[in-house]
Amino acid sequence: MASLTIKGLTKKYDETIAVENFNLEVKDKEFLVLVGPSGCGKTTVLNSIAGLININEGEIWFGEELVDAPQKKLFKIPQKRGVAMVFQDYAIYPHMTVYSNMAFPLEVRKVAPEEIKERVIKAARLLGIDHLLQRKPKALSGGQKQRIALGRAIVRNPKIFLMDEPLANLDAKLRVQARVELKKLQEELGVTTIFVTHDQIEAMTMGDRIALMNNGHLEQIGPPLELYQKPKNLFVADFIGSPSINMFQGNLVKKDKSIGIDLKFFFYPLTTKLSKSITDKEISKVVVGIRPENVLIVQNKKDGLFQANILRIEPVGKEYNIHLEVEGKPFISIESSADNWRQGDRVWITFAKDYIYIFDQESGDIIS
């Protein structure tokens, strides 16, 4: 058990920079999810922690122990780092039985045979695979293989768990179940865990905290709801949440005495407090972001509303995704009932006031 600290990690492949000046602190026993689109460098970070690749700059600490620091010519080989890793393809050796697969890390560490047996059986019981121990992995299902891979990781009592998209190869239903089990297991064992995924739902549901990466650097780190509710920039707002946040480009304009945003189809007035913070920054072009659940469809025309067409009504179980369009710009609203509308209707729309995000169009950073 240990905390993990990464300072200024940079990794280059030839000329391309995979990860640049990456900083991260993971608390002891924390479940941290590293999430981001493919190619964002999350797997590079994970492999650096494991010692599977050599980093160019930076330091990696496990608790008080420095394990990787190229500037100090220090590199601890993966064999000595005491981490356990679960791979996307599980990396289960097909020629060994389930038991031997799980015993392998202990055998190469020369643990006494009795102890190996004890620990493997204990881990197998915990994962509910003790009846499979004598089987060869070939005939086992994806879910079972995934548990074996987990089992091989936990028999070692590692300092840190590293998981590289371990649920990506499971089918949808199994994945939901595995998510819950894995999270429960981690809480029981209390092992610091770094979990890499490209799936934001997995990130939201599993992580104590989420670190969202893009283009080789960290965009934002925090508890799931913080990322959802207080995104630092456009990328975070767009990546987290499903269906994605609606975005409208607009210009800041003065109208009468107050400042507002001209969205072409609609003038959105700003509160005095907001307008003050904006005018300080000398920004004219902005992006307005609003989550689908905060786009409200109303029956009657009132002030501060605008009209949009219903393109499609999509039932997704208990709610409906209503696809709308205003002046050629599509957006989505989530409603709990769609009885009053039909495709092609023209309806009145409002935004829930406190849930609107305004971003600087140029930098992408949030303004409010």
Partner 1 sequence: MRTLNQNILFNATGVKQVEEGKKEKLIALLVILPGILSVFIFFYIFSGWNFIISLTDWEGFIPSYNIIGLKNYIQLFQDPLFWTSLKNNILLIVLFVPGVMIIGLCMAVLLDQRVRAEGIFRTIYLLPFSLSFVVTATLWSWMYSPRVGTINFILGKLGLTSLRKGWITDPNMVMYCIIIALIWQFAGYSCIIFLAGIRSIPHSQTAAAMVDGASNFTIYWRIILPQIKASFITAFIIFMCFALKAFDFIWVLNRGGPGYSAHILGVTMYKETFSFDKFAYGATYSTIILLLSLLIVVPFLFRIYKEK
Partner 2 sequence: MLNIKPSRILLYGLLIIFVIASLLPLWTCIVTALKSSQEVILTTPITPPIDPTMEKIIESINLLKKPLMNSLILVFSGVMVSAFFGSFIGYIFSKHRFPGSIYMFILIVLCLYIPPQVQLIPMVRTMSNLGLFGNLGALVLLYMLFGIPMCAFIFKTFYDDEIPDSYINAAKVDGAGIWTTYRRVVLPLSILPFVVAALLQVVVIWNDFIWGLVLTSGKANLPITVAMANLKGSFVAEWNLQMAGALWVSMPTLIIFIFLGKYIIRGYSGL
Which one, of 52, 53, 56, 45, lies nearest residue 5 by Cα?
A: 45
- Closest distance between partner 2 and the C-beta of residue 79, in Å? 5
Is 138 a binding residue for partner 2 by CB under 8 A? The answer is no
- Closest distance between partner 2 and the C-beta of residue 88, in Å? 7
Measured from the CB atom, the residue of 84 and 308 that comes closer to partner 2 is 84
Q: How many CB atoms lie within 10 A of CB 118?
A: 13
The CA dihedral of 305, 310, 316, 320, to the nearest 10 degrees, is 30
How far, in Å, CA of 82 to CA of 77, rounded?
A: 10
- Closest distance between partner 1 and the C-beta of residue 73, in Å? 5
Contacting partner 1 (CB under 8 A), which of 16, 38, 79, 337? 79
Residue labelled with tokens 């707002």: 237
Is 72 a binding residue for partner 1 by CB under 8 A? The answer is yes
Q: Which stretch binds partner 2 (CB under 8 A): 45-53, 249-257, 266-274, 292-300?
A: 45-53
Is 73 a binding residue for partner 1 by CB under 8 A? The answer is yes
How far, in Å, CA of 80 to CA of 82, rounded?
A: 6
Residues 141-180 that bind partner 2 (CB under 8 A): 152, 156, 162
Is 52 a binding residue for partner 2 by CB under 8 A? The answer is yes
To 10 degrees, what angle do helices 142-154 and 98-108 make?
A: 20
The residue count for binding partner 1 (CB under 8 A) is: 11
Residue labelled with tokens 């055998």: 107
Containing 365, the helix (H) or strand (E) segment is: none
Is 140 a binding residue for partner 2 by CB under 8 A? The answer is no
Residue 331 CA: distances (Å) to CA of 78, 350, 362? 48, 13, 22
Which one, of 284, 279, 288, lies nearest residue 352 by Cα?
A: 288
Residue 139 binds which entry of partner 1, partner 2, none, CB below 5-8 Å type-dependent: none
Q: What angle is formed at CA 247 by the lines to CA 328 and CA 300, rounded to 5 degrees?
A: 70
How far, in Å, CA of 241 to CA of 110, rounded?
A: 47
Contacting partner 1 (CB under 8 A), which of 8, 74, 113, 271? 74
Q: Which stretch binds partner 1 (CB under 8 A): 75-83, 98-106, 150-158, 316-324?
A: 75-83
- Closest distance between partner 2 and the C-beta of residue 213, in Å? 21
Measured from the CB atom, the residue of 80 and 342 that comes closer to partner 2 is 80
- Tokens at residue 326, please? 């205003």
Amino acid at 229: Q
Measured from the CB atom, the residue of 73 and 257 that comes closer to partner 1 is 73
Residue 121 binds which entry of partner 2, partner 1, none, CB below 5-8 Å type-dependent: none
Residues lying near partner 1 in the complex (CB under 8 A) are found at 66, 69, 72-80
Residues lying near partner 2 in the complex (CB under 8 A) are found at 47, 50-52, 77-81, 83-85, 87-91, 93-96, 104-105, 108-109, 152, 156, 162
